[in-house]
């Protein structure tokens, strides 16, 4: 798929909604910038237990800026829908930690255009930020992109195609695909890399919970669940670099990076279901051992002392600092 095909597919999703189609296509054409990636009907997991719907769809999402745009048509105006919209907005913001902007499609054309112009101006200003990375459709699926970057971040909505790609981000160096759901991490101790399905899959019913801060592995056959439970608790690695196998805005099922999780042994013992807590949305990436390593000049840590990134150039350090605004502590090797 090339950029033209991807963009056509995104805009085609709005064809049956007149207001949505008009506003989204106007935003896109006013931006007139193929370095920007757009996702329409962006899938978002919802963790609000009071809601029956377990996912939400954002009308327009800009992953490079973590910016969500929602278009409110006439049916959004009644009290019940406004309440549901506010709950849904909170679920989306909590899930993505994003900025959320509404456009009222019932206003005059002049007012709608004024709101669109504000959004376009905002995005054009964000493009000038030091950390902005132009959209490259091929590079975003290439493990080397994240290896060279020095880290991979779940908040960047990273999707990969194959299990081998997921492992190669962390230096596995597989030249061909693998038939398993993952492999042990070659550089970080007590860690496995796994691509899991979070929808009913034969006898497995894994789930992402609490804004994806928790996930569980569960087999619906008690004997098989107990056998795997014992193996994971007492033999296998306790940390999981997790990729969720799900349908993305491309229309395909891909491996979406979710972060680093650790087995909650106490909770797992109490429930009999393997339960994991996320300890970081960002992880360092690695060159394969048989590849000549570039010189590392610095590394970054989170507040818990976990190393989250490596840096090979001063420009990488500056971009990281601009993007994360001192959320992580950077240690220079010099």
pLDDT at 228 over 70: yes
Q: For residues 44 and 249, what is the distance between their CA atoms, to the nearest angstrom?
A: 11
pTM score, two decimals? 0.79
Within a domain: 328: no
Q: Is the pLDDT of residue 43 over 80?
A: no
* pLDDT (mean) for 175-179: 88
Q: Do 144 and 272 fall within a single domain?
A: yes
Mean pLDDT of 271-286: 96
Give the integer Cα–Cα distance in Å for 176 and 56. Answer: 35
Same domain, 155 and 261: yes
Work out the percent of the chain whose per-residue pLDDT is above 90: 67
| Residue 324 placed within a domain | no
Q: Which domain CATH number covers 56?
A: 3.40.960
Is there a single domain that holds both residue 62 and residue 144? no
Q: How confident is the model at residue 52 (pLDDT cuts 50, 70, 90)?
A: very low
Instruction: Classify 299 as helix, strand or coil.
Output: strand
User: Do residues 194 and 79 share a domain?
Assistant: no
Measured CA to CA, the distance from residue 253 to residue 251 in angstroms comes to 7
Q: Kindly report, residue by residue over 6-38, the tens digit of the pLDDT.
A: 999 999 999 988 999 999 999 999 999 999 999
With a cut of 90, say whether residue 187 has pLDDT above it. Answer: yes
* Structural domains in the chain (count): 2
What is the extent of the structural domain holding 95? 3-127
Distance CA 3, CA 142 (A): 16
Please tell me whether residues 289 and 171 are part of one structural domain.
Answer: yes
**pLDDT at residue 241 greater than cutoff 90:** yes
More confident residue, 60 or 52: 60
**Coil, helix or strand at residue 142:** coil
Q: What is the mean pLDDT of residues 267-271?
A: 96
> Do 44 and 164 belong to one domain?
no
Residue 148 lies in a domain: yes
Domain co-membership, 114 together with 33: yes
Residues 206 and 269 in one domain: yes
């Amino acid at each position: 798929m090339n950029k033209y095909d991807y963009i056509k597919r995104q805009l085609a999703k709005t064809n049956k909604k007149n207001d949505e189609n008009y506003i989204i296509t106007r935003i896109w054409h006013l931006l007139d910038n193929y370095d920007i990636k757009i996702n329409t009907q962006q899938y978002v997991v919802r963790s609000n237990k009071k809601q029956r719907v377990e996912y939400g769809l954002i009308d327009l999402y800009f992953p490079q800026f973590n910016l969500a745009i929602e278009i409110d048509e006439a049916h959004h105006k009644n009290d019940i829908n406004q309440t549901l919209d506010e709950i849904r907005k909170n679920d989306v913001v909590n899930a993505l930690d994003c900025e959320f902007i509404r456009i009222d499609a019932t206003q005059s054309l002049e007012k709608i255009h004024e709101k669109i112009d504000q959004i376009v101006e905002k995005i054009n200003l964000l493009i000038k930020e030091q950390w902005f990375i132009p959209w490259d459709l091929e590079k975003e699926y290439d493990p080397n992109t994240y290896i060279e970057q020095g880290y991979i971040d779940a908040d960047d909505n990273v999707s990969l195609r194959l299990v081998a790609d997921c492992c190669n981000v962390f230096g596995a160096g597989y030249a061909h695909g693998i038939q398993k759901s993952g492999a042990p991490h070659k550089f970080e101790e007590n860690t496995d890399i796994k691509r899991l399905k979070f929808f009913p899959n034969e006898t497995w019913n894994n789930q992402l919970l609490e804004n994806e801060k928790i996930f569980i592995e569960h087999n619906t056959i008690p004997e098989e669940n107990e056998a795997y439970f014992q193996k994971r608790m007492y033999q296998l690695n306790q940390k999981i670099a997790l990729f969720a196998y799900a349908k993305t805005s491309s229309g395909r099922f891909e491996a979406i990076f979710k972060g680093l999780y650790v087995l909650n042994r106490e909770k797992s013992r109490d429930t009999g279901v393997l339960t994991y807590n996320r300890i970081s949305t960002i992880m360092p990436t690695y060159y394969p051992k048989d590849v000549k390593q570039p010189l590392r000049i610095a590394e970054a840590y989170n507040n818990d002392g976990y190393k989250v990134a490596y840096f090979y150039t001063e420009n990488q350090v500056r971009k990281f600092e601009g993007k994360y605004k001192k959320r992580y502590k950077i240690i220079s090797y010099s």
